[in-house]
Structure 1
Amino acid sequence: MPSLKVEILIQIKEGFLFCLSEPFRQFKIGDSYIPKSFYKTVGRLEKEGLIKKIKKKKEVHLRLTEQGKGFINKHRKSVLRASPAWDKKWRIVIFDIPENERNLRDRLRRYLKTLGYGNVQRSIWISPHDFTKIIRRYAEKMKLFEYIFQITAENFQGFSEAMLVEKFWDIKEIDRKYLKLIERYQKKKKQLEGMIKNSPGRKDISNKIFYEYLLWDYRDILNKDPHLPPELLPSDWGGDQARQFVKSFLQS
């Protein structure tokens, strides 16, 4: 899942977030974000020179600066890269948070899910990626350090890697979404080509809008993808096909 910083920049770029009046009606913020963190991040983005505020009557509108546009372009290229090599180890997070801290417990579950962890049981989560330092910082920040335990394992007796993936992640559903994305936009591309033939003067803007929508929908699936190592995925993984499909438009 992208950080709140990246989410805000992308939303401004796409035109979904352009005004600070009642932003939560316009901006789909994840459960882990609160209004205070939203406004704080907007202020930090302005200080970093990535956005600028423009006052229009009683409203404050947001615009990307050239530096902000460059940041988003760099981010978009990064989402098309393949996952890093796997060290063949599994990371397990176990927690026992008291009932009177139920809200923090639920927030931790959502946070682990956004990192791509698979749910073994309600208080046991697993990932092939090393998020040890990230989880430690989160635990310290939320004052949950004494309740969270992290374990690194190399294998599970009685379970193959394929069995673990099938049991703890809905890979088939994510694969289906990637393939549906390709199918849907292949049809849209043919429709677009017909429109451009009738209105050649709108070719550039039409291609840009098409690509923006494609990237938006692709990123939505990426947010749900646990980004498992290639060794744990089927050889015809839809995520690889979708990445190449999107990349072909970026390079054209």
Structure 2
Amino acid sequence: MTGQHTPRSLIVTFYGAYGRGGAGRPAGPVPIAALIRLLGAVGVDAPSVRSAVSRLKRRGLLVPDRTDAGAAGYALSEDARQLLDDGDRRIYGRPGAGHGTGQAAGGWLLAVFSVPEQERNKRHLLRSRLARLGFGTAAPGVWIAPDHLYEETRHTLARLELSSYVDLFRGAHAGFEPTARSVRRWWDLDELATLHRAFLDAREPVLERWTGGGAPESGTPDLGTLDPEDAYRDYVLALDSWRFLPYADPGLPTALLPRDWPGIRAAEVFAALHDRLYDAGAGYVREVLSATRA
């Protein structure tokens, strides 16, 4: 998951990082010529960009539009903006691994669902969406997540018109086995740890290269010393690898995780790469956009 950079995923990652307006990001549609150059910087050729854009347009995530200068381009749909806004809270909002040190920060969220046999496609969609939100399986038809996912879950199920099939409950785990042992039944922690270690294997050397082997806390970089295109490339690839992990791993309380949980270090490495590279990467995006509008 963390090592496969597809053209479609990289386009979504680019728009999430730099294509939504504000903080130096373009507010309007991104010209197709700029998108081809920007995706070329992360290894995607022009035909693959055009093909992936067509698929994203069919899915309703990108909409064709023209820039103020009249150039053909693509902007995010309102649904896509909402999805990316929801994702920000996951991708950038976690303090590390886990949202608390007790049983769970605010308790647990249960999703109990029943779907008629003649609507089995809805059952498949519901299961896949709960899994993508980071829910674990407590029992057939009963899925569980940390309570901090409540608002996102409610919004997602309503948007997909699945809320009529689901009852949501909030509460505490009352036994009988220790909660930490139950968590190992509800989530495959070994698989999650493998994903975090894969991210670290790929991205920790990148951080070391940018810091000269220094610690992630070594301070804010001097943007004048960073090559904007290199910073952009390394940041987009890191974000494309990272952004799936906060969904696979929903931020379980630290006290319920193994003592050497690699998600803590993975979150630190991504945060350090973001702090070091994001602004310099935004400079490269502005440079490309200026060149394509000239």
Measured against the shorter chain, the TM-score band is: 0.5 to 0.7
Name the counterpart of 2:119.
101
In the alignment, does 2:74 pair up with 1:62?
Answer: yes
Distance 2:227 2:186 in 1: 45
Query: What amino acid sits opposite 1:149 in the alignment?
Result: D
Alpha carbons 1:92, 1:124 under 8 Å: kept: yes
Distance verdict in 2 for CA 1:63–1:143, change over 3 Å: closer
Question: Matched residues in 2 for 1:244 and 1:132: separation?
Answer: 25
Corresponding residue of 2:61:
38
Deviations 1:55-80 (A, max 9, x none): 66xxx43379xxx9xx99x9499615
Residues 203/165 of structure 1: CA separation in 2 closer, same or farther (3 Å cut): same
Within the candidate set 102, 113, 116, 2:134 is matched to 116
Cα distance in 2 for partners of 1:183, 1:7 equals 20
1:26 aligns with 2:49: no
Q: 1:166 to 1:28 in 2, by over 3 A?
A: farther
| 2:22 is equivalent to residue 10 of structure 1 | no
**Equivalent of 1:239, from 252, 263, 267?**
263
Other-structure match for 1:198: none
Asked if 1:251 corresponds to 2:275, the answer is yes
- Of residues 241, 257, 261, the one that matches 1:217 is 241
Aligned to 1:170: 188
Matched with 1:197 is none
Distance in 2 (CA, whole Å) between partners of 1:135 and 1:189 is 33
Aligned partners of 1:89 and 1:128 also within 8 Å: yes
Q: Which of 128, 145, 153 is matched with 1:127 structurally?
A: 145
Contact 1:54 1:61 in 2 (8 A): no
Distance 1:137 1:192 in 2: 39
Q: Is the 8 A contact 2:193 2:262 kept in 1?
A: yes
| SS in structure 2 of the partner of residue 149 of structure 1 | strand
Q: TM-score, normalised by structure 2?
A: 0.57
Inter-partner Cα distance in structure 1 for 2:61 and 2:173? 41
Q: Which runs of 5+ in 2 are unaligned?
A: 1-8, 20-34, 213-224, 277-294
Shift of 1:52: 4.9
Q: Does the CA contact (< 8 Å) of 1:118 and 1:125 recur in 2?
A: yes
Greater RCO structure (CA 8 Å; 6+ sep): 2
Q: Which runs of 5+ in 1 are unaligned?
A: 195-200
**How high is the TM-score relative to the length of structure 1?**
0.64
Judged with a 3 Å threshold, the aligned counterparts in structure 2 of structure 1 residues 186 and 205 are, in CA distance, closer, same or farther, namely same
Count, aligned residues:
220
- Report the identity percentage: 20
Please point out which of 55, 74, 94 is paired with 1:81.
94
Write the letter of the residue equivalent to 2:253: P
- Given that 1:53 and 1:63 are in contact with CA atoms closer than 8 Å, whether structure 2 keeps it comes out as no
